Structures are given as structure tokens and as C-alpha cells.
A = this chain, B = another copy of it.
Amino acid sequence: MNAEILSVGSELVAGRIADTNAAYLSENLLRLGIRVSRHTALGDDLDAVRQALIEIAGRADAAVVTGGIGPTPDDITRQAFAEAGGVALTESPEAARALRARFASWGREPSPSNLLQAYIPRGARLIGNPNGTAAGFAMQLKRCLFFCLPGVPFEMKAMCDRDVFPELGRRSGKCSAVRLIQVFGVGESVVGERLNDLMRRGRDPDVATQVSDGVITVRVTATGEDADRIAERVEADAAVIRERLTKYVYAEGDLSLAQAVARLLKKRRLTIAVAESCTGGQIAARLTDIPGISRHLIEGVTAYSNEAKIRRLGVPEDLIGRHGAVSAETALAMADGMRRTSGADIALSTTGIAGPSGGTQDKPVGLVYTALSAADARAVREHRLGGGRAAVRNRAAKRALDLARLYLEEKLNDA
């Protein structure tokens, strides 16, 4: 099955927002064994949308169209479908009832333009919208089955889960299994070398990597008709990948490094504290993104100035004088001081030069030290990070979190 996505909205072609709906839909259709070959975005232009529908109808087996079914005059997608199919728009009694009930629950009456949202092309099948007033519909045009949905992501997603994905899954007769393996602390080229035979073009399951700010996600995808069989094949590949990438695999599934650390803290019932210089609060902010972390995160200190390192963390002034604020010694003293003053089981620290200024020949921009202090282990690492201030800070935060992850997995001293 070959599918396309059409997104309608002037805010898209004016560049005010990126088309995240198209990405969401494609990813989920792929999971159903349906390949999406094209995304199109158009403004609220009746002629252009009608023309695009006719083109897609001749090219694709299935299409999802989002946007342009609101209550205002610039919402033309409904009309474009009616014209492309040569049929009239007609009120769906079921949609009209739902719309009136929704307005009644707000103590209001729908206006005539609101009621237009209950109209669908004659012969189309209604797709109810549990979260909004715009009715969706499914409609066959030539060889292509179209699904027309609102552009508001949470309305669109609920209608996909209830109606569109189940129907397309039945029609594709296929299913996919996807496994994500999260890798950190090693370069993409090394991952590519170690997984070279698995990543061969055309191999099944498909093994591909994607890098985002230092985290490499290895994605294993298998498609077929027998769900158990493809799950087995994906698991077999995942096992090989885990073995070859050793300690660099930090999690499976859609998990950040901070989430992996939080899980391990919970599992081992340990507490953590963080002392941040160059990362300036980012590690604390990432950890506190996670619900329930208050039982494990004792506190964080953003010690940008030397004075704060000395006063808050008890780093000896002469140690900073001898080695500098950006040094392995200071990083370790920050972690030790943080652990001592907070009473946490584990303390992390960062100190480095994020740039753009502040670098010297000896200590260039991008030089970062991360350290960990625990009752039974101390570790410090030197990093040379590139890519500008934001990237240096981001990677440094992840390097520090990864130290905690390795400690908690008892892999700190693995080769």
C-alpha cells in the first residue's frame, strides 16, 4: 500500500509552524506496514486543494488529509472534497447531534458557521471527533481511500487511534514491529562499523541509525503478516545489537538519558544531587522534568562563579587557584562537596568552557570535565565537545548523566 499525506493551512506554507502532523502520521502508518511516499502542504486555497486531491486520488492507495475543516470562511477542505468527488455537502445528523450536545455542555447555541462543521460530502463515512467540533470523514476517490481530519493535533490523534489506524491496519493486512535501542558515549561511525552487516540496504529487518545531540537511536523495523514472527526477528536483531554495542546501550524504547537515570535511581533506591557550572541548571532541569523525581533528587546547585563553588560546595580556594576552575581536580572537588553538603548517595558535577568566549590555547572552548562522587566510587572524565555553546552545554549535561547511568549499572569501570 502506498499512502500520501496532505496538510492544509496557510500557517504551514507561511512557515509559522512546521508540519508535525505529517511526521506523526507517517511514523504511525509505517508501523502498520504502509509506506508514505509524499507529503504535501497547501494554503487554504480551494482550487489548489481540489486539484491536489485529484492528483493524489490517481497516485495513492490511501491518504490522510488534515486541516481546513474549522468553522471560518477560510476553511475549504470539506468543499474541496465535495468538488473533487462531484457530490454535494450534506449534514451528518450524528455529527450535528454531537455538535449541539457539545455546545449545550458549554451553555451555548452553535452558530450557523459552527453547524457547517457537521457537513460532510454525500456518500462519505463520518469519523466522529471526541475532542472538538469539526467532524472528520472517510471517502473513496478513484483508487484512493481518503481520511479527512482536523489539523489540531490532539483531535487528529484521537481520531486516528479510534478509527483511521485500525481501518488502515485491516486493509494493509500487514503489521510492523519497531524496536528502538538508545546508545550514548560512542560515535555514529563506530556504531556503523559494528552494525555494518545489519544495516545493509534491503536487509529485513531494517536497521537504521539516527543521531540527535549525541544520542544515537538504532531503529530495528520488521514488516510482515505474522505479528509473532516479526516480533521474534526484531528481538533477535536487538539482542545482537545490545551485545555489539556493550555498555554504550543505555536503554530500549523512547527513553532519554535522564529518564534512564531516574529509573535506575528508583530501582536501586538511591538519591542524587548535582553541582553544575557550564551546564548551568540543565541537568537539574532534565531530572526534574520527570514526575516523582523528588524522592530521588536531593538538590542542585548552579555554581557559575568561583565564589559559589567555594561557598556553596566547599571547593578549596587554593585548589581552584592551582588547577583552575575548569580542571579535573575542581570537577571532582565539586562532586565531592555536593555529595557531602547535600547528603545524597551520588553527586554529579560539570565544569567547562561553553563559549563562545572564555577559551584559551590550553583550555579551549568545548573543554569540559564531568565528575561523579559516591561512597564506593569516584570518577572524572575530560571531554572536548564541539558545535557551539548550546551543543557543548547539552552534551556536557548528557555526559554527566551518563556517568551516573554507568555507575548505577555498575559499568563505570568497563572497558
Which of A's residues lie within 8 Å of B, judged by CB? 11-20, 22-30, 35-43, 45, 48, 73-74, 201, 210, 274, 276, 279-289, 291-294, 297-305, 307-308, 311-312, 341-342, 355-357, 389-390, 393
Contact = CB atoms under 8 A, between A and B. Distances in A.
A13 B18 CA distance: 14
A-side interface mostly:
mixed
Given A19-B39, A298-B305, 13 more contacts: A12-B23, A12-B39, A13-B39, A15-B27, A15-B29, A18-B20, A19-B19, A281-B287, A281-B300, A294-B305, A298-B304, A299-B308, A300-B301
Given A14-B36, A45-B37, A291-B355, A281 B308 contact: no
Nearest to A74: B201
Given A38-B40, A288-B280, A291-B357, A303 B299 contact: yes
A38 B48 contact: yes
A287 B285 CA distance: 12
A310 to B, nearest CB: 11
A22 B27 contact: no
Given A48-B37, A281-B300, A18 B22 contact: yes
A18 B38 CA distance: 13
A37 B9 CA distance: 10
Contacts of A276: 281, 284
Given A39-B39, A40-B39, A288-B281, A15 B26 contact: yes
24 contacts: A11-B210, A12-B26, A12-B39, A13-B38, A14-B26, A14-B30, A15-B30, A19-B19, A37-B48, A276-B284, A281-B281, A281-B284, A281-B286, A281-B288, A282-B288, A289-B389, A292-B357, A294-B304, A297-B302, A298-B304, A300-B302, A301-B302, A302-B302, A312-B312
A285 B276 CA distance: 10
A299 B298 contact: no
A312 B285 contact: no
A68 to B, nearest CB: 14
A138 B307 CA distance: 55
Contacts of A293: 304
A36 B40 CA distance: 13
A278 to B, nearest CB: 8
A355 to B, nearest CB: 7
B30 A23 contact: no
A299 B305 contact: yes
A289 B19 CA distance: 26
Given A14-B30, A303-B299, A357-B291, A43 B48 contact: no
Contacts of A11: 210
Nearest to A21: B18
Given A280-B300, A298-B308, A41 B22 contact: yes
A393 B42 contact: no
A287 B280 contact: yes
Contacts of A15: 22-30, 36
8 shortest interchain CB distances as A-B pairs: A280-B288, A281-B284, A15-B26, A15-B27, A300-B302, A281-B281, A281-B285, A299-B308
B284 A302 contact: yes
A201 B15 CA distance: 19
A211 to B, nearest CB: 11
A251 B11 CA distance: 22
A372 B327 CA distance: 34
Contacts of A279: 285, 288
Nearest to A73: B201
Contacts of A357: 291-292
Contacts of A48: 37-38
B41 A38 contact: yes
A338 to B, nearest CB: 11
A210 B16 contact: yes
B13 A37 contact: yes
